[in-house]
Amino acid sequence: MSNNRLVYMNGEFVQESEAKISIFDSALMFGDMVFEMTRSFNRNQFKLREHLERLYTGIKILQIPLKMTIDEMEEAVYETIKKNDPAFSNDDEHRIMIDVSRGLLGIYQGIDEAHKGPNVIIADFPLKWTVVGMGKLFDTGINAVITSQRAIPANLMDPKIKNRSRLFYLMANIEASNFAGENNWALLLDPDGFIAEGTGDNFFIVKDGTVITPEGRNILRGVSRAYIIEELCPQLKLPMIEKNIEPYDVYTADEAFMTGTPFCMLPVTSLNSISIGKGKVGPIFSRLINKWSQNTDVDIIKQIKDWNETDLNQDIEAPTPYRFKRK
């Protein structure tokens, strides 16, 4: 892994190893940070503006006093990519991570040399770090596991704000990791017992040719989710609805899949180890991801399969956003 990447920090670029915030930052104290993560196709950012619009909505609702405009943020993202591009290999895609915290808590404002005001951090690293090892899932599918850990309802902390207070996601992942078998991904219910979302992904089922996804009340309304709803389904003339989904509806569905920025789409072939439909990757999933590949001029499945897990020297037993394994 290259150590030549630069990180944007509050208007300056520093070496990745030197990118640090204070131990007294509200992000560390309270998880008081909004963030976005994007990806590229052929090194071109996908739906960057949509990600930034969601970021700035969170900044507004949480009343983080950031003076940087959305246009300035977008410019900083592209400058970060430009500075880091030489450090990327030819087959890499840019995975951008934008973090905005409130900064130092009031009682620590007097600390010398500490940055005052909100922290803006933009990191750029290879997409393959996130999706390595996922290639096989396009063939086998995911086993979604309904965990006892439920989604946080919007009346407590609105999940539509993408924030770093995500311990409930991690606890759901830990629980799913203890489920028998392989390829287990957590699936959370909302407080009323309806399907909500995964721990970083949105959930869809297909029934009689109609694409169905949970209503947007108690979920993070993903950019990939919106792309399915607003662009891919209309392009393929697929009927699509948002409605409450019970676990029973998943068991009786023809297909199911997850969506998320790094991998775009992954098939879900079972729920709690009970087959969904024929227990195989379904035709609607294939049509959607093939159209996505066509629109971006990248064979999404092939690209992820081609990234070899052994080339990255990662500790695959450590927790990741989509996997949590224990030795």
The rounded mean pLDDT for the chain is 92
Q: Give me the pLDDT at residue 231, please.
A: 98
Q: Give me the pLDDT at residue 108, please.
A: 74
Name every residue whose Cβ is closer than 8 Å to that of residue 44 and which is 6 or more positions away in sequence: none
| Phi and psi at residue 224, to the nearest 5° | -70, -40
Domain residue limits, the chain: 6-126, 137-311
- How far is the C-alpha of 114 from the C-alpha of 196, rounded, in Å? 40
CB–CB of 275/144 below 8 Å? no
CB–CB of 129/312 below 8 Å? yes
What is the SS3 string spanning 153-171?
CCCCCCCCCCECCCHHHHH
* CATH ID of 6-126, from 3.30.420.130, 3.40.50.300, 3.10.20.30, 3.30.470.10: 3.30.470.10
CB–CB of 251/192 below 8 Å? no
Read off the pLDDT of residues 222-258 as tens digits, 9 standing for 90 and up.
999 999 999 999 999 999 999 999 999 999 999 999 9
Name every residue whose Cβ is closer than 8 Å to that of residue 199 and which is 6 or more positions away in sequence: 166, 169, 170, 172, 173, 185, 186, 188, 321, 322
Q: Which residue's structure tokens are 């990180």?
A: 7
Q: Give me the pLDDT at residue 127, please.
A: 96
Distance of CA 70 to the CA centre of its chain: 21
User: What are residue 151's DSSP bridge partners?
Assistant: none
For 281, the token pair is 């990757």
Name every residue whose Cβ is closer than 8 Å to that of residue 86 and which is 6 or more positions away in sequence: 4
In CATH, what is the architecture of 137-311?
Alpha-Beta Barrel (3.20)
pLDDT along the chain (327 residues), means of 10: 83 95 91 97 98 98 97 98 95 97 82 81 96 94 96 85 90 92 94 95 98 95 98 98 98 98 98 97 98 98 85 56 57
104: which DSSP letter?
A: B
Residue 258: count other Cβ atoms within 10 Å of its Cβ.
Answer: 27
Closest CA to 25 of 116, 96, 112, 98: 116
